[in-house]
Amino acid sequence: MADAVQRAHAELDARVRERTADLTRTNRHLHDEIASRRRAEEAFRAQAELLDLTHDTVFVRDAKDVITYWNRGAVDRYGWTPDEAVGMVSHDLLRTVFPAPFEEIMAELTRTGRWEGELVHTRRDGATVIVASRWSLQKADERRLAAVLETNNDITERKRAEESLRQAQAELAHLTRVMTLGELAASIAHEVTQPLAAIVTNGDACLRLLATEPPNLGESRNAVDSIIRDARRAVAVVARVRALLKKSDLERRPLDLGQVIRDVLALVQSEIARHRIELVTSLADDLPPVLGDRVQLQQVVLNLLTNAIEAMRDVTGRTRGLLISARRHDIGPDAGVLVAVEDAGVGFERARVDQIFEALYTTKPDGLGMGLSISRTIILSNGGRLWGTSNGSYGATFQFVLPGWKDRP
Amino acid sequence: MSGDESVVSIVDDDPSMCEALTRLLGTVGLRAEAFKTPQEFLKTKRPEAPSCLVLDVRLPGLSGLDLQRELANTDPPVQIVFITAHGDIPMTVQALKAGAVDFLTKPFRDQQLLDAVRQAIDRDRAARRQWADVAGLRRRYESLTQREREVMTLVVTGLLNKQIAAQVHTSEATVKAHRAQLMRKMEADSVAQLVRIAEELNLLPPRR
């Protein structure tokens, strides 16, 4: 009995020892595990602190674009603390504007493992910043995306500088064209000064010839002849300039305005396509002929169309629609034609409606401000009217009417 | 000035201006010849008599200022009076710096032009006189023998006959004979005069 008790005791003892050793082993194992985790955590923290040192904005988002890491640079750039940012969907928080459809960007990221581009972000204080963004992909396995590291550089200032440079260049181009007008004026001045200088010199010579004793009448007469000839020459120069401005070599004949419009549309077709404009034409078949110069009327239509195209150059977020129509429009008992060009562009302020027809008034950075002024003069000289109206929501409509040609003297 | 041989060349592409200028110059007895282009002017032989050039700035092809540059190396220099319908200050400065007599803006006063032309012709006359003198000296110098020229060069640097003889390996008496001969040919009465002539002919070594 005592033996049995003793054996049982010894067995129990052995079991307890065994169990204790087991526990000790497990405990040691756990200690090791904790220590290694702590080391890993420290390493991670150290790395995160390193990321905090960079001036770049760095953040990490998971497969669902939820922010999991937010560095010091991100705090500075956007204004949210890591506590506020982590857990938010990054594109919602930053109201990201992408340069291309999001699906395309993600496709490139999954295919190549990286993506670069310019993004527009909105900061906590509501200001927008333009950033050069670089995305790197971390994969969980072959198919699934684990996380995206996004590094952003603020390029707002650079963008602004580029824009002002572009504007300066446009102003320079405008100036160059005005200079050309100045050169034209200088050339005209030279053309007129030449005969005037000869007249003055001949006049002086004539006085000297008359002052001799006896006066040299024969040569004096020659001098006066030259004076008259050169004066006529000066008059001819002035007449040429006036003709240039008046375009007196007009050929006025009955015209089909629909054909005039089709001719011009053929010219601007590529411009329309290049600016991704949706053109609608509505040219009636029953247009009465109008009397006018083909080239001049083409100029008017071309001017209205190019104005419309330019007005829509910066339009985004709505269809760049352009409507040109021509229809019969009787003025009292007389037949006439109404042409309208309607755009969805930037339009003009109602208060400026009179100004836009003035010479040298322009809203375009590289415009001369002559187009509408010349167009109105042409239409007026053909017995018509040209006017512009601001559309309800956006864009403008310019239209003109011309009286129909009457086949009688 | 009436009755002299002076000639005024005019280069202006405007025939009316050429004609008017010719008439005006004629009233003071000056003969004028007009050219429509610089090229025509360059093709013509320069007048023997004192002359000047009335030159328009703006010309087709070669401009007036180009022609002035082209003429820069003529000797004696061509005296130029510029006329222009649109002269600006830099253009005027450039023309005058390059030696133009005057720069007149069309239309100009007759007296202004006549004064400028007169001044230009006077300058040309003086330059020609000086040029003729130098040409005469050069002819005399060319009549010297090789040995005489050698001796002359040494004389004007101030060497004595004995020193010259040593340098050219000959006797002092021979040097003396050469010296007498070259003095006679150069029409120089003294060594001082010979030095002046050498200076005119650019024979002296550069001064230190």
Instruction: Identify the pLDDT of residue A370.
Output: 57
Asked if A204 and B17 come within 8 Å (Cβ–Cβ), the reply is no
- Chain segment B190-200, per-residue pLDDT in tens: 999 999 899 88
Lowest mean pLDDT of A228-232, A235-239, B169-173, name the range: A235-239
Of residues A172 and A119, more confidence is placed in A119
ipTM rounded to 2 decimals: 0.73
CB A109 within 8 A of CB A155: no
Work out the minimum CA distance from A181 to partner chain B, whole angstroms: 17
Burial of A15 (C-beta count, 10 Å sphere; 0-12/13-18/19+): exposed
CB B50 within 8 A of CB B31: no
B4: left (phi over 0), alpha (psi -120 to 50) or beta: beta
Lowest mean pLDDT of A119-133, A308-322, B39-53, B133-147, name the range: A308-322
- Chain segment A173-226, per-residue pLDDT in tens: 555 444 445 555 666 777 788 899 999 999 999 999 999 999 999 999 999 999
CB A356 within 8 A of CB A372: yes
Instruction: Identify the pLDDT of residue A248.
Output: 45
**Residues of A with Cβ-Cβ distance to B58 under 8 angstroms:** 190
Asked if B17 and A205 come within 8 Å (Cβ–Cβ), the reply is no
Q: Which of A186, A189, A201 sits opposite B20 (nearest CB)?
A: A201
As a whole number of angstroms, the distance between CA A363 and CA A372 comes to 12
Residue type, A101: P
- Chain segment A349-381, per-residue pLDDT in tens: 665 666 666 655 555 554 545 567 777 877 887
A340 band by pLDDT with thresholds 50, 70 and 90: very high
- Residue A199: closest C-alpha in chain B: B20
User: SS3 for A323-348, per residue?
Assistant: EEEEEECCECCECEEEEEEEECCCCC
Query: Which candidate, A166, A292, A186, A294, places its Cα nearest to that of A241?
Result: A186
Instruction: Identify the pLDDT of residue B55.
Output: 95
**Residues of A with Cβ-Cβ distance to B21 under 8 angstroms:** 201
Asked if A198 and B17 come within 8 Å (Cβ–Cβ), the reply is yes
Question: Any residues with CB less than 8 A from the CB of A237 and at least 6 apart, and which?
Answer: A188, A191, A192, A195
Instruction: Identify the pLDDT of residue A409.
Output: 46
Choose the mutation target among B58, B106, B114 for the interface with A, i.e. most A CBs under 10 Å. B106
- Residue A229: closest C-alpha in chain B: B16
- Residue B107: closest C-alpha in chain A: A197
Instruction: Identify the pLDDT of residue A11.
Output: 87
Instruction: Identify the pLDDT of residue B3.
Output: 47
List % helix, strand, coil for chain B (3-state, nearest 5): 55, 10, 35
User: What DSSP line would sit under B20-88, residue for residue?
Assistant: HHHHHHHTTT-EEEEESSHHHHHHSPPPSS-EEEEEES--SSS-HHHHHHHTTT-SSPPPEEEEESS--
Query: Which candidate, A293, A187, A200, A311, places its Cα nearest to that of A248?
Result: A293
- For B171-195, give one letter per residue: b (16+ CB within 10 A) or e: eeeebeebbeebbebbebeeeeebb
Count of other CB atoms within 10 angstroms of residue B6: 23
As a whole number of angstroms, the distance between CA A125 and CA B134 comes to 90
Q: Which residues pair with A400 in a beta bridge?
A: A339, A386
Instruction: Identify the pLDDT of residue A24.
Output: 87
Which tokens belong to A393? 């929501």
As a whole number of angstroms, the distance between CA B156 and CA B194 comes to 7
Residues 241-270, chain A, touching B (beta carbon < 8 A): none
- For A79-118, give one letter per residue: b (16+ CB within 10 A) or e: ebebeebbebebeebbebeeeeeeeebeebbeeeeebeee
Instruction: Identify the pLDDT of residue A209.
Output: 95
Q: Which of B16, B85, B86 sits opposite A226 (nearest CB)?
A: B16
Report the predicted TM-score, pTM, of the whole model to 2 decimal places. 0.44
Question: Any residues with CB less than 8 A from the CB of A152 and at least 6 apart, and which?
Answer: A56, A57, A58, A77, A119, A121, A131, A132, A133, A134
CB A206 within 8 A of CB A215: no
As a whole number of angstroms, the distance between CA A143 and CA A168 comes to 50
As a whole number of angstroms, the distance between CA B105 and CA B113 comes to 10
Q: Give the distance from CA B11 to its chain's centroid.
A: 20
Q: Is A140 helix (H, G, I), strand (E, B) or coil?
A: coil
Signed CA dihedral, A187, A188, A193, A199: sign only? positive
Is a pLDDT exceeding 90 seen at residue A167?
no
Across residues B102-120, what is the average pLDDT?
94
CB distance from A189 to chain B under 8 Å? yes
Is a pLDDT exceeding 50 seen at residue A235?
yes
Instruction: Identify the pLDDT of residue B165.
Output: 92
- Chain segment B159-185, per-residue pLDDT in tens: 999 999 999 899 999 999 999 999 999
Q: Which of B20, B106, B107 sits opposite A205 (nearest CB)?
A: B20
Lowest mean pLDDT of A120-124, A129-133, B56-60, name the range: B56-60
Choose the mutation target among A188, A194, A210, A221 for the interface with B, i.e. most B CBs under 10 Å. A194
- Chain segment A134-153, per-residue pLDDT in tens: 998 887 777 777 788 899 98
Q: Which residues pair with B102 in a beta bridge?
A: B81
Please report, for chain A, how many H helices and E strands are present, in that order: 10, 12
Choose the mutation target among A188, A196, A200, A204 for the interface with B, i.e. most B CBs under 10 Å. A204
**Residues of A with Cβ-Cβ distance to B110 under 8 angstroms:** 201, 204-205, 208
Radius of gyration of the CA atoms of chain B, in A: 24
Is a pLDDT exceeding 50 seen at residue B1?
no
Which tokens belong to A168? 């300066």
Asked if B23 and A190 come within 8 Å (Cβ–Cβ), the reply is no
Is a pLDDT exceeding 90 seen at residue A78?
yes
Instruction: Identify the pLDDT of residue B204.
Output: 78
